[in-house]
Amino acid sequence: MSRHPLLTRRAFITGVGASLAAAALPVVSTSVFAADAHAKEFRIGYQKAANTLVLLKAHGTLEKQLAPLGVTVKWTEFPAGPQLLEGLNVGAIDFGYVGEAPPVFAQAAGANFVYTAYEIPTPHAEGILVHQDAPIKTLADLKGKKIAFNKGSDVHWFLVAALQKNGVKYSDIQPVFLAPADARAAFERGAIDAWAIWDPFLEAAKRQSNARLLADAEGIVNHHQFFLSARPFAEKNGDVLAIVMDAVSKEGEWVRGHYSEAAAQLAPIQGLDAGVIEAGLRHYAHIYKPIDANVLAEQQRIADTFSELRIIPTKIVTKDAALPAKA
């Protein structure tokens, strides 16, 4: 899997700014858009595990930076990416951060969003857990087993790819669709054979449960994370999104230099031990890039695979969910 060079904040903002500038198109919307240049409210969907956004919320960074534009910020928490994108699809939020599979499901369901930016690969931030004494030693041993995961989440794609790489058909396992908290409970009582999950839940289970890491995503999938925006919002509010992505980039830089401090701040919010959170933080890159053709091609591979397996009901073209290139 390819690695990306560290992108400077200036280069990142320049790239995102160019993309957003291309979206300055006239639209008609029934949302909260103001009659002047931009919306008066910016609605962000987040997950407790989305560390950078959670820290931005805790620090009040966006509220301070958007106040001069007369824009207020509203935060809505979701348990996972699929639920967050349901919120975006029905117009409840304008912006969010999810893994690579939720946008594919959302686009197949007709959600009107655009890819705004992505985090460079973080393959160590998701994994498949089995019980310490389980006879399961390789990914091929998952054939016929009950495997829990959050349907439509990033680990859905990771599991499919991991099985395919090891000669196991998706139809040869018994999928058990559970949110993280329910999956952990099922894992601990022995109701499932394996659990595909992401950090910080992955690290917590490794340390606190009778869990053994069977495999992480290294060498299987890149595990990108994406910032997504409702298309009408992105087309009307490039100035707001440029400020937001600048703040995200700065927060990522701060985290990379202050893992322990960031973990201490996140611990009471996420309800996990700071040591668990810090280990999970180190599995993410906290480096963000503007959307490009290569990452959209990777998303297309996911979409094509899911379509072939009938995991999604229709074929999609992922580049259709990107802003037009600047003329």
Domain harbouring 156, CATH code: 3.40.190.10
Alpha-carbon gap, residue 153 to 51, rounded angstroms? 17
Residues 134 and 171 in one domain: yes
Helix (H) / strand (E) element for 115: namely strand 113-119
Q: Please, what is the angle between helix 154-165 and helix 293-308, to 10°? A: 70
> What percentage of the chain carries pLDDT values higher than 70?
87
Q: What is the pLDDT of residues 270-287, one digit of tens each?
A: 888 999 999 999 999 999
- Domain assignment of residue 30, yes or no: yes
Residues 199 and 167 in one domain: yes
Q: What is the pLDDT of residues 99-133, one digit of tens each?
A: 999 999 999 999 999 999 999 999 999 999 999 99
- Domain match, 229 and 117 both: yes
pLDDT tens per residue, range 219-247: 999 999 999 999 999 999 999 999 999 99
Radius of gyration of the chain (CA): 19
Give me the mean pLDDT over the 134-152 stretch: 97
Please state, as a whole number, how many other Cβ atoms lie within 10 Å of the Cβ of residue 59.
Answer: 14
Does 2 map to a domain? Answer: no
- Between 17 and 116, the higher pLDDT residue: 116
Find where tokens 């000669």 sit. 167
Q: What is the pLDDT averaged over residues 137-143?
A: 98
Segments forming the whole domain that contains residue 195? 124-216
Judge contact between 160 and 166, C-beta under 8 A: no
Q: Is residue 278 part of a domain?
A: yes
Between CA 87 and CA 74 the distance in angstroms is: 13
Predicted local confidence at residue 38, as pLDDT: 67
Q: pLDDT tier at 51 (50, 70, 90 boundaries)?
A: confident
* Residue 296 in domain: yes
- For every residue of 129-188, DSSP letters joined together read EEETT-S--SGGGGTT-EEEE-TTSHHHHHHHHHHHHTT--GGGSEEEE--HHHHHHHHH
Residue 13 shares a structural domain with residue 111 = yes
Q: Flag whether 327 is in a domain.
A: no
Asked if 58 and 116 sit in the same domain, the reply is yes
- Cβ atoms of 131 and 190 closer than 8 Å: yes
Domain boundary among 216, 239, 266: 216
Compute the mean pLDDT over every residue in the chain, rounded to the nearest whole number.
88
Q: Are residues 158 and 107 in the same domain?
A: no
Q: Are residues 142 and 233 in the same domain?
A: no
> Given this model, what pLDDT does residue 14 score?
44
Same domain (yes/no): 24, 117: yes
pLDDT at 326: 59
80 vs 235: which has the higher pLDDT:
235
User: Do the domain assignments include residue 42?
Assistant: yes
Indicate whether 211 and 314 sit together in one domain.
no
Q: What is the pLDDT of residues 249-272, one digit of tens each?
A: 999 999 999 999 999 999 999 888
Q: Are residues 235 and 178 in the same domain?
A: no
Same domain, yes or no: 185 and 316: no
Q: How far is CA 240 from CA 17, 144, 188, 229, 230, in A?
A: 10, 49, 44, 11, 13
**Residue 29's pLDDT band (cuts 50, 70, 90):** very low
How many domains are there within the chain? 2
3-class DSSP assignment, residue 301? helix
Which of 198, 216, 234 marks a domain boundary?
216
Res. 45: pLDDT tops 90: yes
In a domain, 157, yes or no: yes
* Same-domain check for residues 13 and 107: yes
Which pLDDT belongs to residue 324? 79
Q: Is residue 4 part of a domain?
A: no
Coil vs helix vs strand at 198: strand
User: How much is the average pLDDT of 25-45?
Assistant: 56
